[in-house]
């Protein structure tokens, strides 16, 4: 994150429809893409907090599309919540604060793009799942998120990052990196390369089902890490799903598969001790139960038949991305040691193996719900 500049934040705060005096600003240390600040204002004798965020336009090159997608989906969620008679709606769905000119974000003269949200209060997020109860809340939260957008009307959402979870394209990129061997690293990654090449056949399974029309395109989150679920401080129940920059057209199974990848093996993404990396059935059962309870009525039989497979596929896909980046010289993912991306690759591929050993049991459980 760039150094905190209080003068800049003060100037930015005046661009949005916030009526009060800025009292305090604190940088948010979580997240590696956007530059985020929590800002406290005094309004009529009470304190309220907002999130000011500088959008990373190197990653999100079309801020209009990103913010349009977020606005459309959050407005649709809000209408559904209102119709359902829910309370605390401003805690259950993100609220965009428009600029004083009525826009969804502010573009500074030097080109930086800023946006503002109401801060969701009395909630916590966790970097990893610590219990089956957490896994259940993760599945339920993202399942409910998908379900809430199943009847989103109007034009198709804008695809802000094309082919984001397209495993075939990730596999092809790996092959190009192997052939180029730009950093002379292929010889040190033979085991991981062979692992990937032996599993080429799984790349197209979901893609072909979508091409045939058996699996529909849906409005999906596309970044279903557990730390994007806000849990109530007291009840520990899921309140809100955040980090909506990648909300766009996608596949429901990609969202679920990435949940399997990030919640069922409670280790860090670059864990070196592979004996700790294991898809844990108690966590999967709760994750799957929460997800199908919330999204089950929306899913068709072809989607449900690939529930377990999706976890294997998404773990494989991110492993391909780590391996490709390692062979290409660590140009995309931030690294902190020479073989950091190779460690990440080993972790993901070990998780793939763990899922392969349990895939039949996993799918049998999903079918039973």
Per-residue model confidence as pLDDT tens digits over 338-356: 999 999 999 999 999 999 9
In a domain, 77, yes or no: yes
Residues 158 and 302 in one domain: yes
CATH code, domain with 359: 3.90.1200.10
Percent of the chain with pLDDT over 70: 98
Tokens of 208: 């072909």
In a domain, 341, yes or no: yes
Residues 184 and 100 in one domain: no
Can you tell me the mean pLDDT for 329-345? 92
In a domain, 306, yes or no: yes
pLDDT value, residue 187: 98
The answer to whether 69 and 149 have CB atoms below 8 angstroms apart is no
* Sole residue written with tokens 């045939």: 212
CATH code, domain with 17: 3.30.200.20
Domain with 300 in it? 132-368
Please state the separation of Cα 138 from the chain's center in Å. 12
Per-residue model confidence as pLDDT tens digits over 5-18: 778 888 999 999 99
282-287: Cβ within 8 A, 24+ apart = 282/132, 283/129, 283/132, 283/135, 284/135, 284/260, 284/311, 284/358, 284/362, 284/365, 285/132, 285/365, 286/132, 286/133, 286/135, 286/136, 286/139, 287/135, 287/136, 287/138, 287/139, 287/259, 287/260, 287/263
Residue 358: which H helix or E strand, with range?
helix 340-368
For 294-322, the DSSP string reads HHTTT--HHHHTTHHHHHHHHHHHHHHHH
Of the residues 77, 99, 121, the one at which a domain ends: 121
Residues 223 and 354 in one domain: yes
Per-residue model confidence as pLDDT tens digits over 251-302: 999 999 999 999 999 888 889 999 999 999 999 999 999 999 999 999 999 9
According to DSSP, the residues that pair with 35 across neighbouring strands are 54
Sorting pLDDT into bands at 50, 70 and 90, what band is 4? low
In a domain, 1, yes or no: no
pTM of the entire predicted model: 0.92
Please state the separation of Cα 278 from the chain's center in Å. 21
Can you tell me the mean pLDDT for 128-156? 96
Residues 107 and 198 in one domain: no
Residues 203 and 328 in one domain: yes
pLDDT value, residue 268: 85
Residues 242 and 169 in one domain: yes
- 3-class state of residue 250 by DSSP: strand
Of the residues 121, 155, 188, the one at which a domain ends: 121
Per-residue model confidence as pLDDT tens digits over 23-33: 989 988 766 67
Q: 103 pLDDT exceeds 60?
A: yes
Residues 190 and 297 in one domain: yes
Residues 10 and 159 in one domain: no
Nearest to 28 by CA among 54, 56, 61, 58: 54
Of the residues 92, 121, 150, the one at which a domain ends: 121
List C-alpha distances in Å: 244 to 53, 77, 221, 234, 258: 13, 13, 7, 25, 15
Q: Is 338 exposed, middle or buried (0-12, 13-18, 19+ CB in 10 A)?
A: exposed
In a domain, 272, yes or no: yes
Q: 367 pLDDT exceeds 60?
A: yes
Query: Residues for the chain: how many in total?
Result: 369
Q: What are phi and psi of 368, to 5 degrees?
A: -80, -15
Residues 15 and 48 in one domain: yes
Other residues' Cβ atoms within 10 Å of the Cβ of residue 86:
13
In a domain, 126, yes or no: no
pLDDT value, residue 2: 54
Tokens of 102: 């009525």
Nearest to 105 by CA among 115, 97, 117, 118: 115
Sorting pLDDT into bands at 50, 70 and 90, what band is 1? very low
Nearest to 283 by CA among 136, 173, 94: 136
In a domain, 74, yes or no: yes
Can you tell me the mean pLDDT for 326-330? 97
The answer to whether 37 and 52 have CB atoms below 8 angstroms apart is yes
Can you tell me the mean pLDDT for 143-164? 95
Number of domains making up the chain: 2
Per-residue model confidence as pLDDT tens digits over 178-227: 999 999 999 999 999 999 999 999 999 999 999 999 999 999 999 999 99
Residues 270 and 361 in one domain: yes
Residues 154 and 297 in one domain: yes
Residues 109 and 140 in one domain: no
């Amino acid at each position: 994150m760039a150094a905190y500049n209080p003068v800049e934040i003060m100037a930015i705060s005046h661009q949005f429809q916030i009526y009060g005096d800025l009292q305090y600003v604190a940088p948010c240390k979580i997240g590696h893409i956007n530059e985020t600040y929590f800002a406290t204002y005094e309004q009529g004798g009470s304190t309220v907090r907002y999130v000011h965020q500088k959008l990373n336009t190197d990653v999100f090159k079309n801020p209009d599309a990103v913010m349009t997608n977020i606005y459309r989906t959050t407005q649709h969620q809000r209408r559904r919540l209102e119709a359902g008679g829910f309370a605390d709606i401003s805690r259950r769905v993100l609220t965009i604060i428009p600029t004083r000119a009525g826009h969804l974000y502010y573009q500074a003269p030097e080109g930086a793009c800023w946006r503002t949200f109401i801060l969701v209060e009395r909630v916590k997020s966790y970097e990893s799942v610590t219990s089956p109860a957490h896994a259940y809340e993760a599945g339920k939260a993202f399942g409910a998120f998908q379900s809430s957008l199943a009847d989103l009307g109007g034009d198709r959402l804008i695809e802000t990052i094309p082919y984001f979870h397209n495993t075939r394209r990730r596999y092809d990129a790996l092959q190009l990196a192997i052939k180029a061997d730009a950093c002379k690293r292929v010889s040190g990654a033979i085991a991981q390369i062979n692992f990937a090449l032996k599993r080429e056949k799984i790349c197209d399974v979901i893609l072909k089902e979508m091409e045939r029309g058996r699996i529909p395109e849906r409005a999906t989150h596309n970044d279903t890490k557990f730390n994007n679920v806000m849990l109530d401080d007291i009840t520990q129940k899921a309140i809100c799903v955040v980090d909506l920059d990648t909300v766009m057209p996608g596949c429901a199974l990609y969202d679920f598969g990435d949940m399997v990848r990030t919640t069922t093996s409670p280790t860090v993404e670059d864990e070196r001790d592979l004996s700790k990396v294991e898809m844990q059935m108690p966590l999967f059962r709760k994750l799957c139960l929460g997800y199908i309870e919330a999204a089950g009525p929306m899913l068709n039989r072809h989607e449900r038949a690939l529930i377990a497979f999706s976890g294997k596929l998404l773990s494989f896909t991110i492993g391909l991305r780590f391996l490709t980046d390692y062979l290409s010289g660590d140009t995309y993912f931030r690294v902190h040691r020479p073989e950091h991306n190779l460690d990440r690759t080993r972790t993901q591929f070990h998780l793939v193996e763990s899922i392969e050993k349990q895939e039949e049991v996993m799918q049998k459980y999903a079918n039973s719900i």
